[in-house]
Each structure stands twice: as structure tokens, then as C-alpha cells.
Structure 1
Amino acid sequence: MKSIFRKINHAGLEGLENPLDYRRVLFVNSLALVSSAISLSVTLLIIFEGLFPQFIITLSGGLLFLLVVYFNHLRRYILARTYFLCLTVAMLTTASFVALKQGRFNEVENILVAFMAVNYLLYDGKFRYVGFLSIYGVLIWLKFVKQDFSGQPYDLNFYLTIQNVSILCLIIFLFSEAFRKSLLRSFVRLKEKDELLYSMIDNVPLYIGLVDKNLRYRMVNLNYEKSFGLDRDKIIGSHIKDVLPPNILKTHQPLVEQALKGESPEFLEHTKMPDGSSFYAGGKYMPVYADNGEIVGVSVFVSDVTKLEVAKNKLATANTTKDKLFSIVAHDIRGPLDLFDGLLDVSQQVEMSPKDFKKHQKRIKEKLSELKSTVNTLLDWARTQLDGVNSLPVSTDIAEVVKSNLDLYKELIDHKKISVHAKIEPEIKAWVDSNHLKIGVRNILHNALKFTPAGGDVQLIGLRKNGSIILKVKDSGVGMDMERVKSILEKELQPSSSGTEGEMGTGLGLSLSLELLEKNNCKVEIDSKPGKGTEVVIEMQVSEKPSTQNISDN
């Protein structure tokens, strides 16, 4: 019930920025509702007394006063206040006539004196003088009418009464004028303070809000207003449940209630806003105290700490990467070095036959090749982490890139007896950094060979499609699950793992490939299933016009 009355009483207030106009509309609405309530209450009393004419007047007045609120709702503010004053004067005039006809001289017309002051506060310029004098004229006229009805002569006592009434009206006029000027000065000072305050809080990089102890907004700054997509005027006066989205309200209403108990809770969270955007919000709720120490509200200060949180997450990722990198270095570099050291110790202590030497020579060569590959990969990966490494795209022949990498791994291919099929359209060239593409394809091909069992199959297909260059590397190896594929596409450092015949790697290969290909505006897709092999598709920008030659087998 209280909420309904408040809503009616605030009709027409939305969008009113001038505090004087705001107070005038609120004042007229309140007077209209009170007048309606008084008229309807008097109606019941009159019915009980059996006074039929007055019953019609008061009942009609009680209903007609409600039109004032309706006019304000339509933003017809001048009409609403003029209608209210005219209706009030008309009702008091009618009530005076009815009382006189019934022989009751109860001075009803004197109530008009109060409405002269009301008129003076509701209008600006000449209208307030016209209204004041008009009501004064009606009052004096009713005094003469009353004198006629009573049959009394227009003697000295009558004119002294008129004089006293006029003096009272003059005092009301002077008081209203002084009060009005004082009120206007107060509103001007208040407006200047509000403008200064909002100018300050609107220009700070924070989200600032203030609610009272009933959890209704009393102030918000521009950032707060924009974050929820609502006008400040609609937020102020509203309950927090009508402004905050459910996901934010659920978390923050308990914090507001904590602050109302004298606490100052802090929060740091990833917040999703009504417009779909999201950011890391860090802030604090603080109780607001009155002069007597009573908590009268809660203020909130929120800052966008997205950059800080992102930097924090990057640092955490970098630390994790560092730990993994040290683990890789310790395992994949120290292992071969320990082997070399052991072989040298053996060669110094025991004379080695040519047959044993050749046996160990082959093993050393394999480990040295692995070590060289590991070091190169580590160095290439380290370079991608530096801001100074940039892509220098040129027209790059895809067939040459594939051939050079196949030559690099010829011994591994022959050793594992893997069937390699390379089908590259002739003269297809991509606009990429040739070194970056070679490193990327090298690591992708090495992984395909590494995890393909002996006697398996690896295919490399290069073609032109939809205005792009496509290079596919497909193997019949062990494959990967979706979680591992997602981790690779997010360029996370992979744990070092052995190939189908114990081949070692750094775990950096695919991460490095994606880093370099990304710098060249290449798109990479990975399709893999455990036990079904893996297909990596690289889409690159074309460098020249399409060729009409057929696909060749290598």
C-alpha cells in the first residue's frame, strides 16, 4: 500500500532535472492527494450529519482532485497546478455559499489565505502576482457577500475586518516573497553543489553508488549509470533489486547488508554486465554515518581491474611455463649429455674395438640429433616470447618447405619405415615468413612421425581452396583426445612425451608452431581422436594467381 501511494505521489517526476520544479510537482501531488483524502473524509461526516448539498460538493471534490496527479503524469505541469488552485477556490467559494444559505457563518472563506501562499510558491513571474491578487479578490468579495447575507450594515467594524484581512494577506505576501527568495537561493546553492559533486565523481575512473538504509539509490556516477544501461534519473530512487541484474544482486545484496551493520566488505570478481560485456571488478562497500553516528546508507566504489588481473594471470602462466621449461631442459638436455659423459668415461678407462665404437657412434649420433633438435626448438620458442620478433612475409613456395622438412627427417622416416605421401599442387605460394613456416611445418611433421608407429602412414597435402593456400599434415598415429587438442590450440606448453619408439621432444613443438603461424595470420585446425591419428590443417594467405597444373605425387 505504501509503495502504491509513493508511486502515485511521484507521478510526473521522471526526467525533471530542476530541483525546484521537482519539488513543486511533488508538493502539488501531495496537496492534491491530501485534499482528496480530506474531501472524502468530510463526505462521510456530512453523510452522517445528513447534509445533502455538502455531500455532493465534497464527494465531487475528492474525485476531481485526483485529476491533478493525472495531469502531472502527462507532464502538463502548469495545467495541473492551475487546475488545483481553481478547483480549490471554486470548492471553498461553493462551500461558503452553502454555509451562508444554511445560516452558518463558519468563516470557510478564510482558508483561501493559505492558498494565496501556496499560489505564490507554485508560479514564477507575473503569474504569481495575478494568482495572488485573484484569490485575494475572491476572499474580499466573499466577505461582502457574507455581510449581505447576514443583513449587517457596512459599518466601521466591517471595514476594520476588511483591513485586518488585507493586512494578513500583505504579511502572507511579504513572508512568501522572502521565503521564495530564500528557497530559490538554497536551490541554486544545492544545484551548484550537486553539479560540482557530479562533476567530480563523473570524471573519476570508478563506479560509484550510494544507497540508503532501505536499499534505494540516492546517488550514482556516470560510469555506474552506463554500466547498467539506465538513466541516472531512473536509478535514483529505485531499489537495488530493480537495477542490479540477478547474477550481481545475488552476490552483492549480502555485502550491502553487511555494510549496513557497520562492516566494510571488499570483493574481487569477474562480472558479466547486462549488455553482455564482462570485466574484473574490484571494490568495497562502506557504511555512511550521520552526525549522531547512525548508519544512514552505504556507498560502493568499484574499479575495473581487468588489466591487472590479466597481467596477474599472464604472470602465473609465465611462472608455470618457466617451471615446465626447466623440467624439459633438465630431462631432455641433461639426459643425452649424461650419456655422452658416460661414454667418454668408458672410452678413457677401456680400450674400445672398432665394432663397439661404431655401435656407440650410431647411438651418439641419434642422441646428438635429438639434442640438436631440442636446443633449436628451445631457441626458436624463446625468440617467439620476445616482443622484438616480427613476421617478415614473402612469397613462399609450399613444395620447397615440405621437401626441405622431409629431407631433414629422412633418417627417421627410413628407420621407422613410415610411408610418406606428399601431394602438393605445383607452384602454390603463400604470403608468409618462410622461416616461420619452415619451423612450424617442421614441428608438426616431427610430431606426426614421432607418434606414428613403424610401418604407419603420413600424408602431406597442399592445395588452393577458396582463395587460400591449404596445407594438411595427416598421420595414422596414436591420436589425441579433445582436451589435449584444446590445450594445444590454446598454445599451452605440453608435457614432454616419448614417441612410439622412444623419440624424445621438448613439448614446445606444437606451441611454437602455433605461435609462429599466428604471427603470419594463418589459421590452424586440429582433428584428432585417440587411436585414429591426427590431421593438422594450416590455412595461409595466397601469394599469387592460381595455377592450372595438376596435383603431383612426391
Structure 2
Amino acid sequence: MKTNLGIVICENFIEEIEFAVKTYNIKNVMIIPFASTCSKATNKKNQCLIEAINLCEERCNKTFIIIENNCCCSNLEDLINNKEKCTLYKMEHCLNLFINKDVVNNLLNTNSYVITSGWLKNMDKDNTSVILDRKPNKLLLLDTGIYEDSIKEIQMLANNLNLPYDSFFVGLDFFHMFIEKIILDWKLELKNKKKISNIKFLREEKYKKLKDTYKLIEKKKGQLLYILDSIYEGVFILDTNYKILFVNKGVEKLLNINNFKSVLGRDLFEIGIVHKDYRDIILNRFEKVLKHNISVPIIEEKMVQFDGNIIPVNIYSGAIEYEGNPCILSVIRDISEHKKSENLKLKIQEQSRLLDKAAEYDKLKTEFFANLSHEFRTPLNVMLSTLQLLNLIGANKTNTDSKDKISKYYNIMKQNCYRLLRLVNNLIDITKIDAEYFKLNLKNENIISTIEDITLSVTDYAKNKGLDIIFDTNVEEKTMACDADKIERIMLNLLSNAIKFTSSGGSIFVNILDKDSSIMVSVKDTGVGIPKDKQLSIFKRFVQVDKSLSRKREGSGIGLSLVKSLIELHNGTIKINSEYGKGSEFIIELPVKVLPESENITSDEDLAKESNIQRIKIEFSDIYD
């Protein structure tokens, strides 16, 4: 950086100023003279002066220009390029550098041509027209003391011009004070500039740091916005009035809108995205956030997209300061895909369960058909064997003994035919029920007498097995809509099971309880009972407690399943209470419903009912003596 001072001064005073700089050991000062045109420069451009100034500006950081007003150059202010670097000293007369203006004015009033020692030394002695043009009365030398031959030179000049002369010693004290003032002004200016420079430097440093900090903040802000715009979740910042101040790009996908910024400045509860079922919940959460300056737990809610589609979301809400104000930060995640994944997982689990159930069902069917083959084969073998015996008896002569045997074998074949018929009937009915083709023939019946008649009809059969059947009811008559044929079939199946699994000497109890809106029927025995782990499965299709083909009691495994289906067709229920080794109790509950008279019509099927005896024989056909 340039730190020297430049002084532009008339060449007539160059000797004096150089002497002063050397005498006072003034450093960093460059003196650049310009040619004197005292008699020609008025109102004209002094090219030499301009060149000196330009040179000084180029080499120095500060330039002081010393000129005589309206003499050296009249329009110098307009010609200076850098006015800030240049200071212009204008004097009424250049002699004011050496003596005060009053003395100068007095000297000039005498019509004397005044010159200084330096001027005299440098002037062209052959060109004296400048002096003669002024027509002075005499020559006056202001002796500054820097030129030893000044008196001799002025005497010679005066002789050549034929003019009287005089000398006046002024020295350089006045001139030195002027130069010192210039130097002091320069130093003060340098000092102020340094202060200003330091202040400016500090300010620039501070500004730079602020700018760097701002850039860093903007960079971090940009990174944060990039991150916010890159995440899947929708981010909302709301003021205390629930106006939306900020959203990220994730809101576009979350709300299914084209421009996420379109919601800025709008009330969250007025843009239609808050589901009506969750409005109060969200308001309550927001109030807690603002009141206690806390975060509330993530909850699952529903949100309405701009196209009206409702999606499940997880919402986090917490307190945040945004632009110096307390606000609410809400982060919302669309969990539709997660829900689909969960639903798919549940479906897979359900399908796995159904597959397991189907495998179990398939196993049961396999066991059932293995058992069914036994159920068909046994009566067929008995019938075939009986026919062979009858053939042998027929080959011999018929006698009384043979007639008894034929009667016995006939009954055996008939019982097994009943057994096959029962099995086929059950298979047909269970197939109809599965196909929803099976229909009830409902009619208003006295349910009490229907059940009592069925129970009493098997009493003799039970006595032959050494069993007592005890019937009891708390009401003698109860009319309700039912299919009497199916009720009879239900009761015969339950009584058949009770007789089959109760040893001789045991008892069977049939009780009816009127509960006004329903009828409860209980069939209880003192038989072998059913283990706890088997009780839940006895009403399932094809299930038997004893699965071995060598079991003591016959059965296909669809009797109780059919019973349950028939009861459910009546909108009723059946349950079991049993303790292994102590007997079982089956409890039926049927709702009471009465048909209008117009619907209570006896069908042809009712008129063609089989006799109770034949029904008992069919239902009890798998009980052998």
C-alpha cells in the first residue's frame, strides 16, 4: 500500500521546499514541480500542472497541490480525477508562502516586480520579457537565504533591465510553518484513515463473519429443507391460532395435492384434512402442547386427503419456537402400507389357520370314511351271513326250531337295514344342511307333549336295557313354532346316545323348563361321561370320542353334529355338562315363537310320517343286544 505524500508546487519554489524537507528530515514526501506560466495561465489549462498531479496521484496515496488562485490554473477542481486523494491549497499570491498577505499587498502596490531566491536561480536570464511586460518600477528580491549569489544575480538582472532593485530578507520560517501544517494535516489524515481503516477492517471482518455465518445458516437451512423435503412424513408448523406457517414437500403426497405451498397461511381445521371423529382429540392435544410446552405421544388417527380419500396416519405433536414465536410442530406419517401389510399378515395367519383347520377337517373326513366303511360293512356282513344261514335252513326240512331261527335272523337283517337307513338319512340330511337346501316345516305345536311322547315311547326299550327314564316338566303345555319331526329326531338321537353309553342299572332324566321367552330341555344320564378335552369337539362333524374300529359302541360320528345343526335351524343352542365316569347332560334352549294362523298349515309330509316305533328302531339301530 502507498503511504507517501506528494506535493505538487510551482518550479519557482522547488529550491525552498526541497531545502525545508531536507532540513527537517521529512520522510515519505515526493515533490513534483510544474512549469511556471504566471503570465500566461490565467483562465487556461496548465498541461504541465495536470501531468504533475496525475503523476503524483499514481505514485502517492495523498497529494497536496499548492497553486496561486486564478494564475496557475483557473479550473483545476474540474480537472482533478480523484478529489478524495487530492487537497488543493489556493493562495491569493504565491508570495504568501513566505510572508503574510498584508506585506505582499504593500509590496505589490509599489509596482515592484517581486521574485524569490529560488525563482531567481531557476529563471531564464535570456528571456526577460515576462518582467518587462509588467512594466515594474523596480526589482525586489525576497531573499530566502538558500542561494548565496542572490544579491549578485539580482544586481546583474537589474542592470540588464535598466531597473533599480532592492532586496528584503525573509528567510524560510514562514514557509516552514506552512509546510509543517501540510505535513501535520497529512499525518492527521493518515491517522484518521488508519482508524477508519481499522474500523472498516473490523466492520468488514464482522460483516464477513456475519456473512459467513449467514451463508452457513443458509446452507444448514438449505440442507434442513432438503432433508425435510426428502423424508416420507408430512411436516407442519402451526401458530397458536392453528394457521399453517410451514410445510414440507412430503405434504404433497400425504394430502394428494399438486403444490404443497398452497396450504400456507390457512387454518388446519378449515382445509378439510382433519377427520370429524378426531377433531376434538387433535384440539385437546394441541392445547396441551401450547399450555405446557411439551410433546404429546404418537397416536393413530385418520386423515382426509384433498380428493376425499381417508387414510390411517400416525401423528406426533410437540412444542417448537419458530421465527421467535411459540408454535406447534406436527409430523404425520401415512401408515396405509403398514396397515395393508398388517392386514396381509392377518390374512396369511387366517389362511394358515384355515389350512390347518382344513387339514384337520380332511383328517376327520378320512377317519370318518374309514369308520363309515366299517359302519356299512358290519350290517352288510351280518345280513349276508344271515342270508347264508337261511339258505342252509331252507335246504333242510322246515320244523318249529327252524321257524324260530328264521324269525330271529329276519329281525337281525331288519335291524341292520334300519341301521343302514339311519346312516344314509344322516348323510343325506347333513349334505342338505351344508348346501343350505334343508328346510324346516314349522308349525305351532305343543312342545311339551311332543317331547314327552317321544320320551315315553322309548321307555320300554330302555327298561329292556335295565335303564330307567324319568321325565319331568314345570309346565304342562307350551305352544311354539317348531318342526315336530326334527324335534323328535333330536330327542331320539340324544336318548339313543344316553342308552348306548349308560350301563344297566343307570338312569336317564329328561327335564323341561319354561323360561317364558324360551324352552330349556335337558337330557341327563348316569353313563360313562365325556373327558374334558373331548367336550369341545363332540359337536364337530365326523368326530367321535372313541375312534378305534374295535370300540364297544357303534356310531358314524355325525349324530351330534346333525343334532346341533337341527337345533341351530330352530335358532336354538345346545351345550354339554359332563364329568368323565359320572355321566353327561345335554342342555337345549329353543326360543319361543308362534306362527300366525295363516301360516300354521299341515303339509303332506306331516300326513306321511312314519310311526314312532319305526323311528325308534331306525335311531336305535346301532344299539345291539
**By percentage of residues, which structure has more helix?**
1
Q: TM-score range by the shorter chain?
A: 0.3 to 0.5
Q: Normalising to structure 1: TM-score of the pair?
A: 0.46
